[in-house]
Amino acid sequence: MFTPESVGLRDYLSPDSRGRTISDAHHELSLSESYRTTCVTTGVQQLAGRSVLLAVSGQLLSALAMIEIDGVVRRMLLCPPDINPNLIENLIKEAEIDAIVTDEPQRWSEAGINVLTVHFPEPTDVRQKTERATDWLMLTSGTSGAPKIVSHTLDGLCGAIHVDGTSQGTAPVWATFYDIRRYGGLQIFLRAVIGGGSMVLSEPGEPLTDYVARLVARGVTHISGTPSHWRKFLMSGSVSHFSPSYVRLSGEIANQAVLDGLAQAFPSASVGHAYASTEAGVGFAVTDGREGFPASLIGQHSNGVEMKVVDGSLHIRSKRTAQAYIGRDVAALMDSDGFVDTGDMVELRGERYYFVGRRGGIINIGGLKVHPEEIEAVINRHPAVRMSRAKSRRSPITGSIVVADIVLAANGIGRERKIRDEIISDCRDQLAPYKVPVVISFVETLDVTPAGKLARI
């Protein structure tokens, strides 16, 4: 779509914004000067109006390529690094991709599609202009099944950022545990670009202590991640010397234990949890330090977001939701009234709604149903527990029963027997009998998916 007033990412990087940088573990590049450089070997104008797969191995080069091709291409499909290679051929077909932008051209030589190589930025005299509103295509980060492609506009992606406003005073330094090619990470990258700050990128495989040392060295003030990311962080004991002023959790249920853990670790920070998903966009943020959200948010328009609960599932309507699923034979993203069904189940207790789990994740125990998250919430309240995962185990009698894997904090090691009894007793007090784990196993670690969510097999 051509609109003369379209604003692209490059338009937020004016020459008078000095000293803004973006860095990973190996390089630091200037964001302020990026309008004077190019990463695309043969010139970005070749990509005008194309549908582009952005398949760059690292986040730093991806970030610069996003800035450069936004507002030039028709579509940009962000390819996260962990994508199953077997799925890519189909994604290319569904998104009608006709050009690939990559730093690994040999990998795509068989694709039969125009391949453009990106490299570290070089100075250029060409001043590329924003020509159109590019569709931003992203993959859903579900914990099971093939990813779906959803289409956003830059305007929609930035909806919550404009509402929050740009920060006053010292420019923020942003960081996130997410990859910026995922919705949660992209939100932080966009905040850094639009809000006038700098950004520190995560590095796959980098030890947490090294990452935190970089966050400290670069003076990171604003940081986000999933509750699983943060539990791992709290477990690592790398907190010392790191004192961000803004800490956010999103992507999974933030329960009281992890909120309290972060409030304790960062006493001077604003610790909050945000509700967002690739399909529904940013819904709201909660900064009162408590899990769940005030019931008053349901039914009202606040900051352009309207929410309702239908059959226990949170539905969201706003300009920040994705536009549509992309591909043949895809389901409708929203209902006829424009609401996106998030599939995130909530329960009203008193004046507050609490997230109880995903609609698809329910365990059925002889006809009685439970969300694993509900059990984990009880287990995670035990002071010696760092992470837990409740899951289904096949049963010849009831179809399924519930078992739990638990990672202990350092203060729990060696006291397993006592802790097991205490947890079972807590579960009995707070849960119906069929929800109490039948077997509890203590494990060293629990897997977290590349999207930062607890892996549920």
Partner 1 sequence: MSTRSKIMAAIKRIAKEQNISLPRLDDDLSLNETGLDSLAFAILVARLEDDLGIDPFTISENAMALLTIGDLVRAYKNVHA
Site of interaction with partner 1 (CB under 8 A)? 365-366, 393, 395-398, 401, 403, 424, 428, 433-434, 438-439
- Tell me the three state secondary structure of residue 445: coil
Rounded to a whole number of angstroms, the minimum distance from the CB of residue 401 to partner 1 is 5
Residue number with CB closer to partner 1 (166 or 430): 430
Residue number with CB closer to partner 1 (162 or 393): 393
Rounded to a whole number of angstroms, the minimum distance from the CB of residue 391 to partner 1 is 13
Do the beta carbons of residue 83 and residue 107 sit within 8 Å? no
Residue number with CB closer to partner 1 (393 or 418): 393
Q: How far is the C-alpha of 190 from the C-alpha of 75, rounded, in Å?
A: 17
User: In whole angstroms, how far apart are CA 433 and each of 149, 348, 424?
Assistant: 40, 22, 11
User: In whole angstroms, how far apart are CA 374 and each of 115, 140, 172, 377?
Assistant: 47, 24, 36, 5
Rounded to a whole number of angstroms, the minimum distance from the CB of residue 385 to partner 1 is 20
Q: How many residues does the chain have?
A: 457
Q: How far is the C-alpha of 311 from the C-alpha of 313, rounded, in Å?
A: 6
Residue number with CB closer to partner 1 (24 or 405): 405
Residue number with CB closer to partner 1 (170 or 395): 395
Rounded to a whole number of angstroms, the minimum distance from the CB of residue 396 to partner 1 is 4
Rounded to a whole number of angstroms, the minimum distance from the CB of residue 392 to partner 1 is 11
Residue number with CB closer to partner 1 (235 or 403): 403
Rounded to a whole number of angstroms, the minimum distance from the CB of residue 368 to partner 1 is 8
Rounded to a whole number of angstroms, the minimum distance from the CB of residue 446 to partner 1 is 20
Rounded to a whole number of angstroms, the minimum distance from the CB of residue 393 to partner 1 is 6
Do the beta carbons of residue 245 and residue 287 sit within 8 Å? no
Residue number with CB closer to partner 1 (1 or 397): 397
Rounded to a whole number of angstroms, the minimum distance from the CB of residue 366 to partner 1 is 6
One-letter amino acid at 358 equals R
Residue number with CB closer to partner 1 (331 or 397): 397
Residue number with CB closer to partner 1 (97 or 440): 440
Residue number with CB closer to partner 1 (93 or 428): 428
Taking the alpha carbons of 359, 365, 367, 369 in that order, is the dihedral positive or negative? negative
Rounded to a whole number of angstroms, the minimum distance from the CB of residue 365 to partner 1 is 7
User: In whole angstroms, how far apart are CA 130 and each of 5, 10, 73, 300?
Assistant: 9, 8, 10, 36
Residue number with CB closer to partner 1 (366 or 414): 366
Q: How far is the C-alpha of 300 from the C-alpha of 44, rounded, in Å?
A: 44
**How large is the angle between the packed helices 227-236 and 208-217, nearest 10 degrees?**
90
Token couple for 175: 């960081």
Which residue(s) pair with 51 in the sheet? 75
Token couple for 451: 């999207």
Rounded to a whole number of angstroms, the minimum distance from the CB of residue 395 to partner 1 is 4
Q: How far out from the chain centre does Cα 431 lie?
A: 30
Q: How far is the C-alpha of 258 from the C-alpha of 252, rounded, in Å?
A: 11
HEC-encoded secondary structure of 313-371: EEEEEECCCCCEEECCCCCCCCCCCCCEEEEEEEEEECCEEEEEEEHHHCEEECCEEEC
396 CB neighbour count, 10 Å cutoff: 5
Give the strand pairing for 51-55 and 75-78: parallel
